[in-house]
Amino acid sequence: MKCSNVGEFSEGELLPFGNIELSPSAGVLNYGQGLYEGLKAYRKEDGSILLFRPKENALRMRLGAERICMPSPTVEQFLKAVKHTVFANKRWVPPPGKGSLYIRPLLMGSGSVLGLAPAPEYTFLIYVSPVGNYFKEGLKSINLVVENEYHRAAPGGTGGVKCIGNYASVLKAQSKARANGYTDVLYLDSIHKRYLEEVSSCNVFVVKDRTISTPEIIGTILPGITRKSIIDVARKQGFQVKECRISVEEVFDADEVFCTGTAVVLSPVGSITYLGKRTSYNNNGIGVVSQQLYSFLTNLQKGVTEDTMGWTVPLN
């Protein structure tokens, strides 16, 4: 099959969770032709269910599919499949305040292909799992270590899309960091080894006075949906937000640093260790700006406050 973003996806079906059958020569198993997405559904006090910005996930999956030569479901197909799956599993959406239903769409080259080429067939599937609140007793800060030896993405590679192979490349640095007592790894750009990129599965922000900066989206950083949302919320709250190059030296001087992603929503960074030197923020506690943005976004996602941004999608 030619590298093409066009392809027909047939109507799917609901199946109980279980193993799937794949040829040993499936494109995804041999050449990593696969993408995933992650989003959440929350239950409101009145029992109804909200999805958070599912269209953004659909669009990101389409961009990723184009990058790795896969056809992808249309935005409408993606949204219909997500809603259908959540509806069928609605009893698993935790009660208000007790977590959310994590939704994992996967797109993969399931057809058999021996020589390196795009697979001749594709499978789109979605599975879900209830997850608790990431922070059980309020926000907690995390400790990052700057990685010098390994990179998660190189210019021209697939770092800008949610390609499964990107996650294999972080496993080694992540285990090294955890073995040394850190929560996660902060990656620098692979050319200058100087500019912040992101954490293994989160974007990063730096706060100084009333300015909030985050690395600009160049091909090596995933355009996070939480990142995009926090940028809009922060601007609405009167902060100046800059998407720019941020050198690792600039973080030493920051008032606060935080990470964003679907799983954590927003996670304050208590310390960053770079070349053996540790810089702490807010005595390893929670900064005022981090707390303010976290509260605003989580209340909106859970339907606790009115969604003035138009981001939540009720499940009908």
Instruction: Return the active site residues.
Output: 162
Among 184, 189, 198, 256, binds ligand PMP (CB under 6 A): 198
Among 89, 143, 213, 226, binds ligand PMP (CB under 6 A): 226
Read off the DSSP letter of residue 117. S
* Tally of CA atoms within 13 A in the half-sphere of 171 that contains its CB: 6
Integer Cα distance of 49 and 316 in angstroms: 8
Please choose, out of 3-11, 40-48, 127-135, 197-205, the segment that lies near ligand PMP by the rule CB under 6 A. 197-205
In angstroms, what is the minimal distance from the CB of 313 to ligand PMP? 16
By beta-carbon proximity to ligand PMP, the closer residue of 27 and 261 is: 261
By beta-carbon proximity to ligand PMP, the closer residue of 26 and 37 is: 37
Q: Which two tokens mark 84?
A: 């259908």
Give the residue carrying structure tokens 């499964």: 164
Number of residues that bind ligand PMP (CB under 6 A): 13
222 sits near ligand PMP (criterion: CB under 6 A): yes
219 sits near ligand PMP (criterion: CB under 6 A): no
How many C-beta atoms surround the C-beta of residue 5 within 10 A?
A: 13
Please choose, out of 17-25, 40-48, 206-214, 258-266, the segment that lies near ligand PMP by the rule CB under 6 A. 258-266
In angstroms, what is the minimal distance from the CB of 39 to ligand PMP? 8
Q: Are 186 and 215 in contact (CB under 8 A)?
A: no
Among 38, 130, 165, 219, binds ligand PMP (CB under 6 A): 38
Total H helices, total E strands in the chain: 8, 15
Q: Report the SS3 class of residue 57.
A: helix
Q: Are 278 and 123 in contact (CB under 8 A)?
A: no
In angstroms, what is the minimal distance from the CB of 222 to ligand PMP? 4
Where are any strands of DSSP class E within 84-210? 100-109, 122-131, 142-147, 184-188, 196-199, 203-208
Among 143, 213, 214, 262, binds ligand PMP (CB under 6 A): 262
Q: Which residues bind ligand PMP (CB under 6 A)?
A: 38, 198, 201-203, 222, 224-227, 260-262
